[in-house]
């Protein structure tokens, strides 16, 4: 689907934390600064860059997906990124954060790997991505996991090329995220949580929840 991406955000400058922001515009903004799509009559913009930098606006909603927040290993950087998103949002605008579910973070389901497949354009094959391994090192003090990540390009049923790297990834708890949002300031106290990118899945659903999606709302919007 248009607008989907594989986030290889540990690449680039050693001090950069790159990721993909998704925005729904209010009708203003710099079209030259990002890529634009149409989604159900609304303008969807995605921008790749350092999430600690200014992201522009105003926007009605911003999404930081695929656990990209985990590339911010320092709490101060996470607060900065949340503040950048807050500044871009209109009052009442929403910030969606998609992260590994706490059951995965704490290995309650004995699952150490997250994997998915994306088709190549024109039916030329598939890209297989495996994120994490049961033997990955985890620093309990910093909550940083050294995640093993493998990309494989598969053509005609055989692996044509592959790349494996180790990516430091911070694992956040829900309580930490709520505190970081308070430190960033400017968000409503009421926070919505879901167990996936589906509003019908509760975050505490032991059967269906597979991701932790946290929705922050910028203060100052009209009462619901």
- Residues 57-75 pLDDT 10s: 788 888 888 888 999 999 9
Average pLDDT, the chain: 80
Q: What is the rounded (10 degree) CA torsion for 81, 83, 87, 89?
A: 70
pLDDT of residue 26: 47
pLDDT value of position 30:
42
Q: How far apart are CA 202 and CA 212, in angstroms?
A: 9
pTM: 0.78
pLDDT of 179 > 90? The answer is: yes
Q: Are 47 and 68 in contact (CB under 8 A)?
A: no
Report helix, strand or coil for 85.
helix
pLDDT of residue 14: 35
């Amino acid at each position: 689907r248009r607008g989907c991406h594989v986030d290889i955000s540990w690449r680039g400058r050693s001090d950069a934390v790159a990721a993909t922001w998704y925005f729904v515009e209010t009708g203003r903004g710099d079209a030259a600064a990002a890529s634009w799509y149409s989604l159900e009559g609304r303008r969807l913009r995605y921008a790749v860059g350092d999430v600690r930098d200014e992201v522009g606006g105003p926007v009605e909603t911003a999404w930081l997906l695929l656990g990209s927040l985990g590339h911010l290993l320092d709490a101060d950087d996470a607060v900065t990124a949340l503040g950048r998103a807050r500044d871009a949002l209109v009052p009442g605008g929403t910030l969606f954060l998609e992260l590994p579910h706490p059951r995965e973070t704490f290995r309650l389901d004995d699952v150490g790997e997250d994997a998915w497949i994306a088709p190549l354009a024109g039916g030329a094959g598939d890209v297989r991505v495996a994120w994490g391994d049961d033997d990955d090192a985890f620093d309990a003090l910093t909550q940083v996991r050294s995640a093993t990540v493998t990309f494989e390009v598969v053509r005609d049923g055989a692996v044509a090329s592959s790349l494996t790297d180790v990516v430091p990834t911070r694992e956040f708890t829900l309580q930490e995220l709520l505190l970081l949002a308070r430190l960033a300031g400017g968000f409503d106290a009421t926070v919505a949580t879901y167990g996936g990118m589906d509003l019908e899945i509760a975050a505490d659903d032991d059967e269906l929840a597979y991701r932790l999606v946290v929705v922050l709302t910028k203060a100052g919007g009209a009462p619901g």
